[in-house]
Amino acid sequence: MLSTSLIHFLRSRARSFQHAFAGWWFVIRTQQNAWIHAVASVTVVGLGLWLHLDLQDWAVVLLTIALVWTAEFLNTALEAIATLAADGREHPLAKVGKDVGAAAVLIAAAASVAIGLLILGPPLLERLGF
């Protein structure tokens, strides 16, 4: 029989996952750039499968995808908190927070393009006969 503390722990973990998936769904529902990330992620994974990437390349590709998504999620959280702190009004510091968060996503996305070109470019060109 499961102990009370184990049951509490399992319920607590289940609630944590529910909160995480609610946050994930919020980002997908409300952030237009999330759809761009989704299309790019699916495209890159599809290309990686087609090109038969080795395990090390997959590790870098998956970490890169995770980096961009993490930046987008953190940016969304930062925007919500900045809006809440500014009580819905335009505040110069809230704008700074939002702009810096957006810059973080831009840096992650630019790095992901460079990494994608480095990893997918050569085998793609070879596969296409160039």
State whether 45 and 103 are in the same domain: yes
pLDDT category of residue 1 using cuts at 50, 70 and 90: low
Per-residue pLDDT tens digits for 76-93: 999 999 999 988 788 999
What the block records as the tokens of 43 is 């495209």
Give the torsion through C-alpha atoms of 42, 45, 48, 50, to 10 deg: -60
Per-residue pLDDT tens digits for 101-115: 999 999 999 999 999
State whether 71 and 118 are in the same domain: yes
What the block records as the tokens of 88 is 């819905």
Per-residue pLDDT tens digits for 13-45: 999 999 999 999 999 999 999 999 999 999 999
From the list 75, 124, 82, the residue with the least C-alpha distance to 103 is 75
Number of domains in the chain: 2
State whether 47 and 103 are in the same domain: yes
State whether 101 and 64 are in the same domain: yes
Residue-range definition of the domain harbouring residue 20: 1-30
State whether 50 and 80 are in the same domain: yes
What the block records as the tokens of 59 is 């590790």
State whether 86 and 112 are in the same domain: yes
Q: Which residues are catalytic?
A: 72
pTM over 0.85: yes
Residue 119 burial by CB count (10 A; 0-12/13-18/19+): exposed, middle or buried?
buried
State whether 94 and 39 are in the same domain: yes
What the block records as the tokens of 49 is 């499968």
Alpha-carbon span 111 to 117, nearest angstrom? 10
